[in-house]
Structure 1
Amino acid sequence: MALIGYARVSTVGQDLDYQLDRLRSVGCEKIFSSKHSGKADANKKQLSELLSYVREGDTVIVTKLDRLGRSLSQVLGTIELLAGKGIYLKAIDQNLDTSDDSPIAKAMVQLLGMFSELERNFIITRTQEGKAASGNYGGRPTKLDKTSREEVVTKFSAGLSKSQLAKEYGVSRATIMRIIKG
């Protein structure tokens, strides 16, 4: 009957330390952690390693329920997998413990999962609205503005070579070719 921790952050820029400290403070003997986007295979790999490691009677501990997945179906699927193996789950911040097999406890798991997904969807919506309002959708800024790109096309049509244009505008030939192809 071991306490096994699982910590996950969504981006490399986020910090795992808070989760790791919390998991250690409740006595986790081993902690699996992942520091990648939820779409990354590394998350699946760490969760898969955790699921392979835990044994019947163990308890998997997370700081929050949403650490187990990016959607309600993923979270509930993981909880079902754990339950099917006779493994309990505790979410520290949400005071959730699946070792309590009562109908109320089961309903709480589903409600908390649903609220976690709702919160995540709100964050995504706000992020998308912010990007639309600012016009900044990420990515590297273009080296040449619209006027310069139009000049490149005009000068190329007038006979200047891609290499000459690349040198004149301080960009690579590949950039010039992309501008010309439009």
Structure 2
Amino acid sequence: MEFVGYARVSTQQQDLTQQIEKLEAYGCKKIFKGKHSGKEATNKEALEALLKYIREGDTVVVTKLDRLGRSLSQVLVCLDTLMKRGVNLVTIDQAIDTKKSDALSTAMVQLLGMFAELERNFIVTRTQEGKAATGNYGGRKPKLTKEQEQEIRDKLANGVSKVKLSKEYGVARATILNISRKGKL
């Protein structure tokens, strides 16, 4: 039996040091590390390497349950994989130990997974609300105002060429073409 650690942070700027220190203090000799969002393939590779490494009777140790995935389904799939292979899971900060197979421990694992997903949804919702409040959805600002686009449509209707309009407004001919197409919708 071996304690195998798994540490993950969501961005390159975040630090794994605190997680690694906790895992080493718990007794993990081998620690797999991921420094990427749960949505990225590189984190999946680190988790897959962990799953290939562990054997029946081992214990996977994480600081928190949400290190295993960013959604309840990801966490539960990982937990199911561990259970089927006879591997236990310990979360240091949340005092979960799947060696205890009673109903309360099972319910606690599922509840914590749901809370991890709920927290992630709150973050996404707050981010979207912030974007809506500021009007900053990312991307480049349009070069032309709605009024300028209407002027272009009017000039196109009067026979002015797209090339001439692109020079006049300082935009690509494709922009003028896109404006002309929008007017036909």
TM interval, shorter chain, is 0.7 to 0.9
Where does residue 62 of structure 2 map in the other structure?
A: 62
SS in 2 for 1:147: helix
Q: CA RMSD in A?
A: 2.6
Where does residue 142 of structure 2 map in the other structure?
A: 142
**Closer, same or farther in 2 for the Cα pair 1:163/1:57, shift >3 Å?**
farther
Where does residue 22 of structure 1 map in the other structure?
A: 18
How far off its partner does 1:134 sit?
A: 3.4
**Closer, same or farther in 2 for the Cα pair 1:69/1:180, shift >3 Å?**
same
How far off its partner does 1:37 sit?
A: 5.7
Where does residue 76 of structure 2 map in the other structure?
A: 76
Distance in 2 between the 1:36 and 1:103 partners?
A: 32
Distance in 1 between the 2:97 and 2:18 partners?
A: 16
**Closer, same or farther in 2 for the Cα pair 1:179/1:59, shift >3 Å?**
farther
Q: Which amino acid aligns with 1:21?
A: T
Aligned length: 176
Larger Rg over CA atoms: 2
Where does residue 174 of structure 1 map in the other structure?
A: 174
Distance in 2 between the 1:181 and 1:16 partners?
A: 46
Which is worse superposed, 155-164 or 77-86?
A: 155-164
Q: Structure 2 regions of 5+ residues with no counterpart?
A: none
SS in 2 for 1:23: helix
Which is worse superposed, 72-81 or 156-165?
A: 156-165
Report the TM-score, using the length of structure 1 for normalisation: 0.78
Where does residue 7 of structure 1 map in the other structure?
A: 8
How far off its partner does 1:75 sit?
A: 1.0
**Closer, same or farther in 2 for the Cα pair 1:141/1:53, shift >3 Å?**
farther
SS in 1 for 2:18: helix
Contact 1:5 1:61 in 2 (8 A): yes
Where does residue 96 of structure 2 map in the other structure?
A: 96
List structure 1 segments (4+ residues) > 4 angstroms apart after TM superposition.
Answer: none
